[in-house]
């Protein structure tokens, strides 16, 4: 009898102590990427507003947007037109050069030695974990400022978390072009579900772009958010999450996001869990958000009216910046981006011809990446050493390098 009492007490203790832990990362910098830091600060407020403890959230962002000289609202960031300032109260644990793939992996795996003693996940087998990543991506990789995190590195980090019993269940939301390619080898027995903004072969899209980038009569000069990201966050802001499942949210997002194909991977049984398991218990939805979501679903407000392919947002930003302020410097930056795009298009057209492929055909062809991406890492490193650093636009051609490695 004593044995069963001990077991019962242990179970009760686990139930009481179970908490939500989260890691939020905006992996870009520079003002034209305004939307990623806006997304992540909004995500921080989604969790805080739904009762997740601040000390259980780790946030990583370069932090060069709020006080950027181009920002018409110094010290503020907005994630929707005429919305709230999401930078206010957004606690950033890693900023500037601390935002790296290595620190991200160290945070996930609880390796405080690698971070120099800075905050890392200290979740247990009783806790549920939510991860939200927003940045640029390519075939089998996502960018983190000027470096890359490859799919095999991410999957290995998640396996390490599982082996170290750092969670009960884990929900991973990823915003990036070709984000699906990061999870095609995610095992379905790790109690992890990944939900991506795009499948392995397509771009994700920014939203609230010009001319919808207006806040109280002033244009921000950059897309305010990403279509998929603001869809799930505005949805969470408006819902009773304790009676709304992960699958419910996924199906809602499918109705709102039409320019890319949100996709799920891993342990699909997690889709039956309530969103509150990972984003916090319900609060009474604010009337502002309830009305906003109703407009989105009914089509009276179309957040995709002025969406932009994430790979072309920098070009659009520089074009508008030049039109509003036609200085020689702005003209030079705009034309430099045009030339950069032409360089990547021309270079990979020549590579396609060199290997006997119709130019552009590899971009249109799907590829099943292997679990080990050593060849892709080497190919990306060689290209950047001998040709040029991949730009946000150029990252789409990592797919061509993958075809060369694994055809």
Residues with Cβ within 8 Å of 276's Cβ and at least 6 positions away in sequence, in order, are 50, 241, 242, 244, 282
- Give the integer Cα–Cα distance in Å for 165 and 22: 15
Tokens of 401: 């390098």
Which residue out of 41, 177, 207, 209 is catalytically annotated?
177
- Give the integer Cα–Cα distance in Å for 271 and 244: 10
Residues with Cβ within 8 Å of 336's Cβ and at least 6 positions away in sequence, in order, are none
DSSP states along 201-238: TS--EEES-TTS-EETTEE-SS--EEHHHHHHHHHHHT
Cα angle for residues 169, 43, 82 (degrees, 5° grid): 155
Nearest CA to 37 out of 69, 85, 81, 5 is that of 85
The most distant pair of C-alpha atoms in the chain lies apart, rounded to whole Å, by 83
Residue pair 78/37 in contact (Cβ under 8 Å)? The answer is no
Residue pair 261/294 in contact (Cβ under 8 Å)? The answer is no
Rounded to a whole number of angstroms, the distance between the first and last alpha carbons of the chain is 63
- Give the integer Cα–Cα distance in Å for 346 and 387: 12
Cα angle for residues 75, 76, 82 (degrees, 5° grid): 155
Strand, coil or helix: 60: strand
> Is 41 assigned a catalytic role?
no
Residues with Cβ within 8 Å of 213's Cβ and at least 6 positions away in sequence, in order, are 81, 219, 220, 221, 222, 223, 224
Residue pair 59/91 in contact (Cβ under 8 Å)? The answer is yes
> Is 223 assigned a catalytic role?
no
Which residue out of 42, 45, 50, 136 is catalytically annotated?
136
- Give the integer Cα–Cα distance in Å for 20 and 109: 16
**Which amino acids are annotated catalytic?**
136, 177
């Amino acid at each position: 009898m004593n044995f069963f009492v001990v077991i019962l007490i242990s179970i009760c203790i686990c139930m009481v102590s179970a908490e939500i832990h989260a890691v939020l990362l905006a992996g870009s910098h520079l003002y034209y990427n305004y939307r990623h830091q806006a997304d992540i600060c909004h995500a921080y407020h989604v969790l805080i507003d739904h009762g997740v403890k601040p000390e259980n959230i780790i946030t990583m962002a370069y932090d060069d947007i709020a006080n950027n000289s181009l920002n018409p609202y110094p010290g503020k960031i907005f994630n929707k037109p005429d919305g709230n300032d999401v930078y206010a109260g957004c606690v950033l644990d890693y900023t500037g050069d601390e935002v790296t793939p290595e620190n991200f992996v160290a945070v996930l795996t609880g390796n405080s030695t690698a971070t120099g003693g800075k905050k890392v996940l200290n979740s247990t087998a009783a806790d549920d974990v939510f991860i939200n990543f927003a940045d640029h991506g390519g075939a089998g990789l996502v960018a983190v400022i000027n470096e890359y995190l490859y799919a095999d590195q991410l999957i290995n980090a998640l396996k390490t978390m599982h082996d170290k019993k750092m969670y009960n269940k884990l929900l991973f939301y990823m915003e990036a072009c070709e984000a699906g390619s990061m999870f095609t080898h995610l095992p379905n027995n790790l109690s992890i579900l990944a939900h991506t903004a795009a499948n392995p072969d397509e771009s994700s899209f920014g939203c609230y772009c010009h001319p919808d980038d207006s806040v109280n009569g002033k244009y921000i000069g950059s897309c305010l958010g990403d279509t998929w990201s603001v869809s799930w966050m505005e949805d969470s802001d408006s819902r009773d999450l304790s009676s709304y499942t992960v699958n419910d949210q996924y199906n809602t997002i499918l109705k709102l996001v039409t320019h890319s194909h949100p996709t799920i991977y891993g342990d699909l049984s997690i889709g039956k869990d309530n969103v509150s398991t990972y984003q916090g218990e319900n609060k009474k939805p604010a009337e502002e958000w309830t009305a906003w979501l109703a407009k989105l679903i009914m089509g009276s407000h179309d957040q995709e009216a002025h969406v932009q392919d994430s790979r072309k947002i920098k070009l659009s930003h520089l074009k508008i910046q030049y039109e509003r302020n036609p200085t020689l410097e702005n003209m030079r930056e705009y034309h430099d981006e045009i030339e950069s795009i032409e360089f990547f298009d021309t270079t990979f057209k020549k590579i396609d011809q060199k290997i006997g492929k119709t130019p552009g055909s590899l971009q249109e062809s799907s590829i099943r990446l292997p679990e080990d991406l050593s060849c892709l890492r080497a190919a990306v490193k060689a290209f950047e050493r001998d040709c040029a650093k991949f730009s946000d636009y150029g990252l789409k051609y990592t797919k061509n390098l993958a075809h060369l490695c694994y055809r």
